[in-house]
Amino acid sequence: MDTWKAYKRQGLVRLSPTPRQLPTKQRLAKFYPQEDLHCPLCQRETEDDHHLFYGWQYASAIWIEIQPWWAVSPAFDSIEGRLWPLLKMKRDKQSKQITFAIFLVVIHHTRLARNNAQLKHQIIQAKDTIKIIKEQILHRVVFLHTHTKKYSLHLHKLLQ
């Protein structure tokens, strides 16, 4: 096996945490006592992985916009409900890679919006985040296509 291929696979696994591995107030309270476990953005619910990535209005708005753009499974009420269809879908390899990348980018930007609100007191609008997500995915697919020439079928769909 080529050393670089092994490194790339290892790097992808290392950089793709599930939402349950990311720190939320509820998860951090297990290790460090917290006075306020409420979401810093909506101030209504306890900040846990489900609320932050699916229940929060900001995350829901992102998933609703991404779903028609790229055929991501409809919103589920659990992380497993979102991940299971991604793992079992009947698509070609490139389509699965794009779908998984979208999943990771949405999680990253949801977490980034939460951190900006909590630490910097800046609110990032969901529509701006959606635009950034689409640009990042498109740039990544164009980059991969220039090197492999295997993504031409997917570029047209992403450009819509």
CA distances from 20 to 15, 28, 43, 97, 158 (A): 14, 12, 21, 21, 29
**Amino acid letter, 121:** H
**Amino acid letter, 64:** I
pLDDT, tens only, 57-88: 888 888 888 888 877 665 556 666 666 666 67
If one counts the domains in the chain, the total is 1
For residue 48, pLDDT over 70 is answered with yes
Asked whether residue 56 is domain-assigned, the answer is: yes
The answer to whether residues 120 and 114 touch, using CB atoms and an 8 Å cutoff, is no
Asked whether residue 18 is domain-assigned, the answer is: no
User: Which structural domain range is residue 64 located in?
Assistant: 49-159
pLDDT, tens only, 1-29: 444 444 344 343 344 455 556 666 666 66
**pTM score of the predicted model:** 0.73
pLDDT, tens only, 78-136: 666 666 666 676 777 777 788 888 888 888 888 888 888 888 888 888 899 999 998 88
Asked whether residue 94 is domain-assigned, the answer is: yes
